[in-house]
Amino acid sequence: MQNQSKAAGSEWTIRKVLSWTTSYFKSHNIESPKSDAAILLAHALETERIDVYLQCDKPLYADERSRFKTLIRRRISREPVAYIVGEKGFWSMNFTVTKNVLIPRPDTESLVEAAMSVLPDSGPQRILELGTGSGAIILSLASERPHCLFFASDRSAKALDVARENAERHHLDESVHFFSGDWFRPLKNDMYLFDMIISNPPYIPTAVISRLQPEICKYEPAMALDGGRDGLDSYRVIISSAHAYLADGGSLLLETGHNQKDGIQKIADACGCYENVIFTKDYGGHDRVVRMTKRERIKG
Ligand code: GLN
């Protein structure tokens, strides 16, 4: 019996394990069953995904199988792959993520792209990110525009720990100054003016959160998702305050929900301190980013 199970076990090659796991994930309605299986197996084997494919005839040892089984169970309970493996690729880098930060989304690369199109290739600029989470946005900008000065805040101390860890991981800890606090509160008595303020604030209407896929509503921090009754609470706070911290002509750039264009336009118009309110779409064709410019004060 023992010999039999040993023999059966030795047949579990990487190829067979991947194919079994892919079908198992499919039967549990996991969205990307094949790539999830490969990423998790590579993690269990402490190797790169490419090596998993290159060594597909290699049998798995019992301890490797048992490590992988634990990861399969976590994924079946709908824990996101990024939390299981502890990182996520965004822009040009891998960022450490924990359950205390939102997992960076490909859609948010549109926000980084929009910021890059505004930031000059040279010359000092001061950039502030609000609600930095993993730091993916500000660190991507810092890697592209080394001559700028970067500041980033979050009200979650645990999120800031992750952001700082990512800054060190990418040798950008000298470029970005992190501080804790809610939106603009830490800057209250400060005379700092920024050339750009950027944020991916929480924007999901409260009642919608429990209807999102379990990967999001069971695992991601509600604090980073919950935008209040209509999803626009953060925009009201940020838009009505940001102009006081922007230099004349400075830009405010925000990620938006796909159906929030009209609501955000109204908030910006009601504030009266901005001009050129421009919405741009993500690669899925959804409104995803709003950019507005602080109106220059008329000197009299
Ligand atoms: N884009 C995220 C989602 O739809 C939400 C991020 C946010 O609220 N800022 O899951």
Q: For residue 85, tell me if it sits in a domain.
A: no
CA distance 283 to 280: 10
| Residues 73, 99 within the same domain | no
How far away, in angstroms, is 213 Cα from ligand 1 center? 12
What atom in ligand 1 is closest to the CA of residue 226?
8
How far away, in angstroms, is 204 Cα from ligand 1 center? 7
Q: For residue 100, tell me if it sits in a domain.
A: yes
φ and ψ at residue 256, rounded to 5 degrees: -130, 160
Q: For residue 84, tell me if it sits in a domain.
A: no
Ligand 1 atom 2 nearest Cα: 225
Output the pLDDT for position 299: 56
Q: Is any ligand 1 atom within 6 A of the Cβ of residue 216?
A: yes
Q: For residue 83, tell me if it sits in a domain.
A: no
Query: Given a cut of 70, is residue 300 above it in pLDDT?
Result: no
Is residue 212 within 8 A of residue 205, CB to CB? The reply is: no
CA distance 43 to 35: 12
| Residues 18, 132 within the same domain | no
Residue environment code for 135-161, b if the CB has 16+ CB neighbours within 10 A, otherwise e: bbbbbbbbeebeebbbbbbbebeebbb
184 by DSSP, 3-state: which?
coil
Identify the CA nearest to 241 among candidates 183, 180, 179. Answer: 183
Task: Give residue 34's domain range.
Answer: 3-77
φ and ψ at residue 26, rounded to 5 degrees: -60, -45
How far away, in angstroms, is 277 Cα from ligand 1 center? 21
CA distance 104 to 99: 12
pLDDT digit string, tens, across residues 215-255: 999 999 999 999 999 999 999 999 999 999 999 999 999 99
Q: Is any ligand 1 atom within 6 A of the Cβ of residue 268?
A: no
CA distance 160 to 223: 14
| Residues 160, 113 within the same domain | yes
| Residues 178, 287 within the same domain | yes
| Residues 151, 9 within the same domain | no
C-alpha distances in angstroms, 258 versus 145, 213, 215, 281, 283?
28, 17, 20, 9, 12
What atom in ligand 1 is closest to the CA of residue 227?
8
| Residues 41, 143 within the same domain | no
Identify the CA nearest to 288 among candidates 267, 258, 266, 253. Answer: 258
Residue environment code for 85-100, b if the CB has 16+ CB neighbours within 10 A, otherwise e: bebbebbebebbbbeb
| Residues 121, 159 within the same domain | yes
Q: Is any ligand 1 atom within 6 A of the Cβ of residue 241?
A: no
What's the whole-number mean pLDDT along residues 123-143?
Answer: 96
Ligand 1 atom 5 nearest Cα: 225
pLDDT digit string, tens, across residues 56-114: 999 999 999 999 999 999 999 999 999 999 999 999 999 999 999 999 999 999 999 99
CA distance 81 to 105: 13
The HSE-up count of residue 289 (CA atoms within 13 Å, CB side) is: 23
pTM for the model: 0.93
What atom in ligand 1 is closest to the CA of residue 107?
1
Least confident of 2-16, 30-44, 245-259: 2-16
| Residues 200, 66 within the same domain | no
| Residues 275, 189 within the same domain | yes
CATH number (domain holding residue 12): 1.10.8
**Residue to mutate (ligand 1; options 97, 200, 211; most atoms within 8 A of CB):** 200
Output the pLDDT for position 254: 98
pLDDT band at 4 (very low <50, low <70, confident <90, very high): very low
CA distance 80 to 262: 32
Q: Is any ligand 1 atom within 6 A of the Cβ of residue 204?
A: yes
| Residues 267, 133 within the same domain | yes
**Residue to mutate (ligand 1; options 132, 203, 235; most atoms within 8 A of CB):** 203
Q: From the CB of residue 169, how many other CB atoms can be counted at a distance below 10 Å?
A: 16
What atom in ligand 1 is closest to the CA of residue 202?
8
Query: Given a cut of 60, is residue 9 above it in pLDDT?
Result: no
Domain count, the chain: 2
Find the helix or strand (DSSP H, E) in which 164 lies.
helix 157-169
| Residues 191, 229 within the same domain | yes
Ligand 1 atom 7 nearest Cα: 202
